[in-house]
Amino acid sequence: VLKEQFLAIRKLLALENPDYKITYDIDGKPLLNPELIISISHSNEIAALVVSNKKIIGLDVQFKESKILNIQNKFLNKFEKLNIGRDPSIDILTMIWTSKESIYKAVGLKGISFSKNIKIDKVIEKDKTGKGYYINGTEKVKFDLKFYYLDEYIMCYASQNLES
């Protein structure tokens, strides 16, 4: 499946522009031609990508699975646990997970802790929106989150809020 996803991303790019070439920076973050930012994600049978020439962006897609209930304590911080309550749904947990993955990809640094460095301020299931932050010491970068539902998948697009 990974090879199929790899090829699907390259095919999508070739259809958009045959001159697009994916390269990787020193931390392994993909770039599209030197001037464009790209974020790539895949889960099971879905492959997705987003391209930007200005904003710092990240994308993640996840298949909704009950196993997220078992790992929530590894990626949620105390603030997020209070926000979502004692019995969060698989959808809410998947939204938070894809938010954190998207912000992680946007920041593009190794060693980021999902529970310590990435804080999801709010996720509004009804509006399919949210806010999140990358925090490291005094550095705080705000991200706008937009969610998309595709059958049994949840996709999150994170873009840096340049007004913060």
* pLDDT for the residue numbered 1: 59
Chain mean pLDDT for the chain = 90
Model confidence over 104-113: pLDDT tens digits?
999 988 889 9
Fill in the amino acid letter for 130.
G
Model confidence over 71-84: pLDDT tens digits?
999 999 999 999 99
* Percent of the chain that is helix, strand, coil (3-state, to 5): 30, 40, 30
* pLDDT for the residue numbered 8: 85
Model confidence over 25-77: pLDDT tens digits?
887 788 888 778 889 898 888 888 898 887 789 999 999 999 999 999 999 99
Q: In 103-122, which positions are buried (b, 16+ CB within 10 angstroms) versus exposed (e)? A: bbbbbbeeeeebeebbbbee
Q: Which residues pair with 38 in a beta bridge?
A: 51
Phi, psi of 114 (to 5 degrees): -65, -35
Number of alpha carbons in the 13 Å side-chain half-sphere of residue 63: 8
* pLDDT for the residue numbered 110: 85
Q: How far is CA 10 from CA 7, 36, 49, 137, 141, in A?
A: 5, 15, 10, 38, 31
* pLDDT for the residue numbered 120: 96
